[in-house]
Structure 1
Amino acid sequence: MSLAAHPFGDPQTVSVAGDAHDPAVVHVTWKVGAADDLTLLGIHLGVLPEDRVMLDGAIDYDDGDAKLVQQAPEVHTYLLEHVTVASGGRACPGRVEASGDLIADGADLVFTCPRPAASATVTVSTLTDLHPAYRTLATGPDGQHQVYGADAPTHDWSLGERTSMTTSTTIATSSTGSTGSSAALQIGGVLGAVLLVAVAGTLVARQRRRATPTPTPNP
């Protein structure tokens, strides 16, 4: 089915982020650009009737379209087919965590990778199957950004040093029971070593004084 698209209005957007609690989880939030794009997607997925497309290619949409489309399970399936995440060359299974107003709030997709991911390859091809001129403005951690399109559907994102930080914290915690007690023991060890050196120095000085013979005055 050939549908007229409107790819030159407000662009769709995507935000990519790691998870604060689980380094193997990647979050992707997708928002559609405009209401007519959402209507076009609904027609493409069979959620809205095909007669919404006029003879001149224009889209006949009304205010109720957005609600119908965003509640349709077909949209969730579509998003998981056109937004994918991989890490270390392995696919990360995804699910739609939440989906509200797809223009204002977007749909939150959660991907769980086989192992902690310091970086992720995110592919976005939403709406480009309807018209190759569609673009997606994407943002990520620490000011990263990318423009997705039919000619550039894939991008690698850095998710930060969460894995190494987590590992360091785990080692310190498992060794002493808590990070605070680990720091206290390390400080105590340093102070103990300093005191030990000071005491040793005092003992050596005393031994040297005892071993040095007292000079006998000449008659």
Structure 2
Amino acid sequence: MPIRGLASGLAVLACVAAAAGVVAPAPAAAHPFGDPQTVAISLDAARPEVVRVRWKVGGLDDLTVLGVALGVLPSDRVLLDGAVFYEDSDAAAVGPSPRFADYLRERITVTSDGRECAGAVAPPTDLARDGAAVDYACPGAVGVVDVAVRMLTDLDPAYQTLATGPGGARAVYTFDAYTHEWRLGDAVPAAGGGAGTGRGAALQIGAVVGALLLLAAAAAVLARRRRVAT
């Protein structure tokens, strides 16, 4: 077939394929049904009052969507059809952003003994690969804590987060179940510790009073015997 005829034939085939909807697949749009995001929850070995939570995004295109939502990236990074093209510069822009740090502290919270722990975000060195870590300083040594994770569920409630903790503990965070309890240390809750101390003090006082009563009774018996003997 002459080259001109071959070119014409390919053009016709291309038109037919386009009309039939047979086109090259478009880049995947960011959505909550890809790889899940993760959090790793642990206790700082050197600081028993500090809980560390490391968050990692599931799909890199979700970093782009988050950056657009936070106003760190321009809105045209998400196309009209929802397609998202992730670029390495996206993570570099989102990672050090104060808006991202505020978002982490707002969407991930830690509570110990009924009191919220203050979070401090460490500047990520490689957000796409290593994620971001937040250190939560609690009022005292940590035993059992409540960790709430609501990352990205404000963008779409279908997002889920897979969580891991000490000793192989695991949990799944969802839009409706965003708080889980984690045992990270052996510290006794302040309320329980106070109650135990009160009970111990009461027992000690009771023992002292009982001993004094026994001594008084013994002294009375001894005095009575002496009077009888005389």
Alignment TM-score > 0.5, same fold: yes
Q: Structure 2 counterpart of 1:151, which letter?
A: D
The superposition leaves residues 160-194 of structure 1 with CA deviations (integer Å, 9 ceiling, x where unpaired) of 32669xxxxxxxxxxxxxxxxxxxxxxxxxxxxxx
Name 1:81's counterpart in structure 2. Answer: 106
CA distance in 2, matches of 1:158, 1:98: 27
Which residue of structure 2 lines up, in the alignment, with residue 54 of structure 1? 79
CA distance in 2, matches of 1:62, 1:20: 36
Report SS of the residue matched to 2:146. strand
For structure 2, the 5+ residue unaligned runs are 1-28, 190-230
Aligned to 1:69: 94
SS in 2 for 1:99: coil
Aligned pair count?
Answer: 161
Q: Does 1:14 align with 2:39?
A: yes
Bigger proportion of residues as helix: 2
Q: Give the whole-Å Cα distance in 2 for the aligned partners of 1:7 and 1:138.
A: 16
Per the TM alignment, residue 95 of structure 1 is displaced from its structure 2 partner at its CA by 0.4
Q: Which residue does 1:110 correspond to in 2?
A: 135
Rounded Cα–Cα distance in structure 2 between residues aligned with 1:22 and 1:65: 33
Q: What SS does the corresponding residue of 2:171 show, helix, strand or coil?
A: strand
In the alignment, does 2:39 pair up with 1:39?
Answer: no
* Residue type of the alignment partner of 1:91: E
Return the alpha-carbon distance in structure 2 between the equivalents of residues 109 and 55 of structure 1.
34
Please report how far the alpha carbon of residue 58 of structure 1 lies from its aligned counterpart in structure 2 after TM superposition: 1.7
Mean Cα displacement is larger for which, 84-93 or 62-71? Answer: 62-71
Contact preservation (8 Å) 2:142, 2:186 = no
Shift of 1:5: 4.3
TM-score (norm 1): 0.69
Q: Cα deviation per residue 1:88-118 (whole Å; 9 max; x = unaligned)?
A: 1110111012412223211111011111110
CA distance in 1, matches of 2:145, 2:122: 19
The CA deviation string for residues 62-100 of structure 1, in whole angstroms up to 9 with x for no partner, is 232121111222111110110110001110111012412
For 1:146, the aligned partner's letter is A
Does the alignment pair 1:134 with 2:159? Answer: yes
Report the TM-score, using the length of structure 2 for normalisation.
0.66
Q: Distance in 1 between matches of 2:165 and 2:108?
A: 15
- Contact 1:45/1:74, CA 8 A, preserved across alignment: yes
Q: Residue 98 and residue 55 in structure 1: after superposition, are their counterparts in 2 closer, same or farther (change >3 A)?
A: closer
Letter in 1 for 2:37: Q
Q: 1:96 aligns with which of 91, 97, 121?
A: 121
Where structure 1 has 5 or more consecutive residues not aligned to the other structure, the ranges are 165-219
Q: Percent identity?
A: 55
The aligned counterpart of 1:198 is: none
